[in-house]
Structure 1
Amino acid sequence: MRPTHPPAAELAAQYRAHGDWRDRPIAGYLRRAATLWPDALALVDGDRRLTFADVDRQATALAAALHARGIGQDDVVSFQLPNRAEAVVLFQAIMKVGAVAHPIVPIYRGHELRFILRQARTKIVFVPGRYRDFDYPDLYRRLRDALPELREVVVVDGDADDGTSSWEALLGSAGPDPEAAVDALPEPDPDQVCLLLYTSGTTADPKGVLHSHNTLVFENFSMIDQFALNERDVIFNPSPVTHITGVNCALVLPFLLGAPVVLQDLWDPVLALRRITSNAASFAIFSTPFLTGLLAAAEASDVTAPTLRYLVCGGAAIPDDLPRRAADRLGVVTRMYGATEGPSVTAADRWDPAWVRSRTDGTPLAPTEVVVSDGSGGTAPVGVLGEVLWRGPDTCLGYLDERLNEAAFTPDGWFRSGDLARFDEHGALHIEGRIKDVVNRSGEKISVHEVENLLGEHPAVAEVAVVAGPDDRTGERACAFVVTGGERELTLQDIGAHLTAREVATQKIPESLFVVDALPYTASGKIKKFALREWLRDRGTASKSIAGMTVLHVHER
């Protein structure tokens, strides 16, 4: 598999000349860690604890077994696994073979899987047996006829039956000398695609993002530099290993850093707090819902986490007061902005002023370049909203469907993010949402980010999303979808009074309020706003269900 939108030759030369691209494939870092620190802890998965030597030995055996199955460079190996040790071992085995790792979020079912596995031309896929009371082997048995290139389905934690293989049986086929077999394989080209990761659904159609060894290695070393990480740190990772944050923090970073990762699968904030404190975790990256739950657990149990140096938060809007409250119990909270296409674009650190860490998305992480476009080929002035464009050594190489690249990239390599933002006079970026999050009310364009932040401060509001809905008079109106806390009730008059008291302009106040039992989230913690907009568009014929979530009350003017 070759990059479909490689960076311009002069950019690639620049990244190499400056040492941003190290031209060393990912598997080399595991081998280095296993050689230098064989007995050091690398991975904690519940009661299971693996050293770097353990991970290297198991990954080598699995790589030899994959090679014996005919898996080689450019072949796609998919896995739809939860946060377990096997996912870490499998990813490293794929890197050793020089194939392409393709993580798939566990919530995907037949509709999504037929599309992405066919497009990826997957050769072998790894799945759990039963997970969250769902039978994955049965799902894949029903998919096989639609996937002619899929050779084998491997069940990681269950018995194999007709049409599947077991993890243990696959490891047993590694041969008498797995290390010699793997050492004989050609070393992957560091510019070769090693990761295919589909965006998790903030738009209706997933897009396959391509990363190379060089882009992923740079990304992880940039986190090491930004947050001054070292081998004494302990990474806590509840983010799915099938999302870019989990790929980096659980599958790559520990082996570059020489520090362990503590995995958590099903999100339970009380258990998360216990694992953070018992393992002396010092660093974590996750999205807003994780932070909200963890803080609530800490406040309810009157527990602090003194070892946490950094809680890096991103992926969803963050209420302005949340970092301040969390810092009192959990450690320094700072924002980071990025995407699957470029995981770390801007960030702040513990040395930045509190207002930069809590009220902005930080400053550009050099050498990544970031601009806010004025929409006409120029740069927007300070304070003026526009689309964020970036390019840097961790920017993806394009999409698997190369037809998407022309719209996503400028000819000179800038990625068009689709995010709406402004720079302030101090050089900090303020993400105001997606371009589609703008409400065009009678020709006036209103960003929903400010309204969501302020509504999040209302005592009855547990979660909130504001999107544009149709309006016969003004063209569009702001529609708020709210999950209330406990038994609290909320009306349109309540939120109007709350926003008016905060001196919000009248035209920004939502004119429709939908109280729902939950908001629809992607696996990575982002709200599926496209689902909310689609429901509003089709409301006359739609049911009261939004992507599986139920509308409880409707208040409108």
Structure 2
Amino acid sequence: MWPTHPPTAERAAHYRAVGAWRDRPVARYLRRAAALWPDALAVVDGAHRMTFADVDRQATALAAALHARGIGQDDVVSFQLPNRAEAVVLFQAVMKVGAVANPIVPIYRGSELRFILGQARTRIAFVPGRYRGFDYPDLYRRLRDDLPELRDVVVVGGDGTEEPAAISWETFMGSAGPDPEATVGALSEPDPDQVCLLLYTSGTTAAPKGVLHSHNTVVFENSALIDGFALNERDVIFNPSPVTHVTGVNCALVLPFLLGAPVVLQDRWDPASALRRITGEGASFAIFSTPFLTDLLDAAEAADVTAPTIRYLVCGGTDIPDELARRAAARLGVVTRMYGATEGPSVTAANRWAPAGIRTRTDGVPLAPTEVVVADGSDVPAPQGVLGEVHWRGPDTCLGYLDDRLNEDAFAPDGWFRSGDLARFDEHGALHIEGRIKDVVNRSGEKISVREVESLMAEHPAVAEVAVVAGPDARTGERACAFVVTTGEGQELTLKDIGEHLTAGEVAAQKIPESLFLVDALPYTTSGKIKKFALREWLRDRTQPARAVADMTVLAVHER
């Protein structure tokens, strides 16, 4: 079923020889933690606290229920759940039956879900009830006719009543049978090279791309976090990142069970609440995007408190300004940067022993045995200081995409992954990410495809031409900025109009542009391509007349 693009036999043998690939399925680590530390705290979800034994017992029951519904190796189990304990139990249950976990971010709606669930051939999906004002069971009920292979929808955290064409979590757990331990114990372990995780990332294409990871790549990724940051069982992980995003999958669903340490979940981001949880639970380690750090520091300064238990706040996605790093280090703890992607979550990083400049002004150094090069246009390594595309290969590099047609462009013949990111190495061997080849908006670490937004905006009757590019945003790093030529002189078009149009197209709210510029013309190259670099240049310095930079006149500006 899985058209994987694994490393060469030589590279795989090397990863095993150096101990990076341990050939242990993910589920073994929960069993080990439950056996060694049954009463130790594993998950904190508000007032709900679970030990390793609790997670193991519930995951075993859920795995037996999945098996009873015919779910086994290679079957896809999708879940669009918020940060709550049931997501941890579900992921571990999927690992126990040897199936493939497919986390889907809660912001996705009908357009994205039809594609993802259809391409993944999802057999069963777990969704919340009404969450943040949105009715997920109703959405999935409307999707069922388009997804013939989706047999079951399980509602987690509803009001206890059965939804039409759906099953409650409680009812589903009750179908585990009289002896879940015996049922699950009789199942054969999956091959560690087997796909266990399917994560979709929008990248630069209109359709999301399904990234394939094996047990070996997932286990190494989390082992690299433990080794790189010297984590141990006395640490407490704080996780505000969605458990359906690669950071949340690792930090909340996998890392606690390799480490033997608890994770503190936070669902809805609130900096004051986050600060209380960190100080109250003694959290010591977190990975999130820079805007989260800004919010957390503001909350700490407003309350005039420190967080002495923090050992690492690891940021990715956007730069850390020097002043922010200084203030955060003084009040919260060590701040450092990390670079990676869904296709390879831990590529470079810096730990607490690195000089402060490398920790916060660079994206760190390669995490061995992962190899990183900055390549010129012909896949040849560029000299130090020269800008080029980042290529990497390592034990946590994905096994390719579910749509294997994407692999030819994504991977060089010798197994290097072409990231699409532009960077340079400095004299210390640290990586500096300086831009992207890929046409995306990086909003608080979440990459949004502009092609999808452009194609949907072009369907609006008032839009004649449109280009969406990333513009600077003081809070999120980048925002989506739409430049539009309307269909007629004086044609009215506002952000509200665009928002309503995209919402009707069932796209996620986070993809809706935050700035709209009505212009008389878009700048084109002689070959007929829009000069997006000129639009980005103008956004960086809007004090210049638009025509001086991009040969256009801005007629109206709408922003929020």
TM-score, normalised to structure 2, is: 0.82
Q: 1:301 to 1:549 in 2, by over 3 A?
A: farther
Pairwise mapping of residues 359-378 of structure 1 onto structure 2 (< 5 A)?
A: 359-378=361-380
In structure 1, the partner of 2:227 is 225
What is the aligned partner in structure 2 of residue 498 from structure 1? Answer: none
> Superposed, which structure 2 residues align to 1:376-391 within 5 Å?
376-391=378-393
Change over 3 Å in CA distance of 1:3–1:21 after alignment to 2:
farther
For residue 399 of structure 1, what is the aligned residue in structure 2?
Answer: 401
The CA deviation string for residues 386-438 of structure 1, in whole angstroms up to 9 with x for no partner, is 00000000000000000000000011100000001000011000001212579
The count of aligned residue pairs is 480
Q: 1:160 aligns with which of 153, 159, 162?
A: 162
Tell me how large the CA RMSD over aligned residues is. Answer: 2.4
Deviations 1:208-236 (A, max 9, x none): 00000000000100110000000000000
- Identity within the alignment, %: 77
Counterpart CA distance in 2 for 1:551 and 1:67 is: 49
Distance across 2 between alignment mates of 1:480 and 1:161:
41
Matched, 1:548 2:512: yes
Alignment-mate amino acid for residue 415 of structure 2:
G
Cα separation, 2, equivalents of 1:298 and 1:57: 38
| Alpha carbons of structure 1 residues 320 and 407: separation in structure 2 relative to 1, 3 Å | farther
Aligned match of 1:473? none
Q: Deviations over 1:51-110 (max 9, x none)?
A: 000000000000000000000000000000000000000000000000000000000000
Which residue number corresponds to residue 90 of structure 2? Answer: 90
User: 1:111 corresponds to which letter in structure 2?
Assistant: S
Q: Is the 8 A contact 1:202 1:527 kept in 2?
A: no
Range with greater deviation from structure 2 (244-253 or 290-299): 290-299
1:540–1:324 CA distance, 2 compared to 1 (3 A): farther
Q: For the structure 1 residues 355 and 91, does the alpha-carbon distance in structure 2 shift closer, same or farther, using more than 3 Å as the test?
A: same
CA distance in 1, matches of 2:515, 2:15: 50
Match of 2:290 in 1: 288
2:308 aligned residue: 306
What pairs with 1:115-130 in structure 2 (closer than 5 Å)?
Answer: 115-130=115-130
Change (3 A) 1:478 1:144: closer
SS at match of 2:117: helix
Residues 315/187 of structure 1: CA separation in 2 closer, same or farther (3 Å cut): same
For the pair 1:141 / 2:105, whether they are aligned, the reply is: no
TM-superposed deviation, 1:151: 0.3
Q: Which runs of 5+ in 1 are unaligned?
A: 439-447, 453-464, 468-476, 485-517, 520-525
The CA distance in 1 between the partners of 2:400 and 2:468, in whole Å, is 34
For 2:324, which of 322, 325, 336 is the aligned residue?
322
How far residue 323 of structure 1 moved from its aligned partner, in angstroms, is: 1.9
The offset of 1:551, in angstroms, is 3.7
Report the CA distance between 1:328 and its aligned residue: 1.1
Is the 8 Å Cα contact of residues 3 and 193 (structure 1) preserved in structure 2? no
Amino acid at match of 1:318: I
Residue matched to 1:195:
197
TM-score for both structures, normalised by structure 1: 0.82
1:56-95 counterparts in 2 under 5 A?
56-95=56-95
Distance in 1 separating the partners of 2:315 and 2:471: 22
* SS in structure 1 at match of 2:291: helix
Q: Deviations over 1:329-358 (max 9, x none)?
A: 110000000000000000001001111111
Partner of 2:455: none
Secondary structure at 2:38 match in 1? coil
Q: What SS does the corresponding residue of 1:210 show, helix, strand or coil? A: strand
In 2, are the aligned partners of 1:103 and 1:241 still within 8 Å (CA)?
yes
**8 Å Cα contact 2:77/2:123 also seen in 1:** yes
Checking the alignment, whether the CA contact within 8 Å between 1:129 and 1:137 is kept in structure 2 is yes
Task: Say whether the 8 Å CA contact 2:195–2:212 is kept in structure 1.
Answer: yes
Structure 2 counterpart of 1:90, which letter? L
Indicate conservation of the 8 Å contact 2:472/2:478, yes or no.
no
Q: Indicate conservation of the 8 Å contact 1:321/1:358, yes or no.
A: no
Residues 29-70 of structure 1 deviation map (CA, whole Å, 9 limit, x = unaligned): 000000000000000000000000000000000000000000
Change (3 A) 1:6 1:385: same
1:23 aligns with 2:27: no
Cα offset for 1:201?
5.5
Q: 1:200 to 1:403 in 2, by over 3 A?
A: closer
SS in 2 for 1:313: strand
CA distance in 2, matches of 1:421, 1:481: 19
Q: Contact 1:3–1:210 (CA<8 Å) still a contact in 2?
A: no
Letter in 1 for 2:152: E
Residues 177-209 of structure 1: CA distance to partner in whole angstroms, max 9, x if unpaired?
000000000101100000000015565331000
Mapped partners of 2:91, 2:320: distance in 1: 31
Change (3 A) 1:550 1:256: closer
| Structure 1 SS opposite 2:154 | strand
1:183 aligns with 185
Provide the rounded CA distance (Å) in 2 between the counterparts of 1:186 and 1:293. Answer: 46
Q: CA deviation at 1:161?
A: 2.2
Secondary structure at the aligned position of 1:321 is classed as helix
Structure 2 contact 203–438 (Cα < 8 Å) conserved: no
Corresponding residue of 2:353: 351
Q: Residue 174 of structure 1 aligns to which amino acid in structure 2?
A: A
Contact 1:235/1:260 (8 A) holds in 2: yes
CA deviations over 1:365-385 (Å, ceiling 9, x no partner): 000000000112311111110
**211 and 480 in structure 1: CA distance in 2 versus 1, 3 angstrom threshold:** closer
Measure, in 1, the Cα distance between the counterparts of 2:23 and 2:42: 24
Give the SS at the match of 2:199.
strand
Aligned to 2:101: 101
Question: Does the CA-based 8 Å contact 2:319-2:361 persist in structure 1?
Answer: no
Residue 3 of structure 1 deviates from its aligned partner by 4.7
Please tell me the residue identity of whatever aligns with 1:70.
G
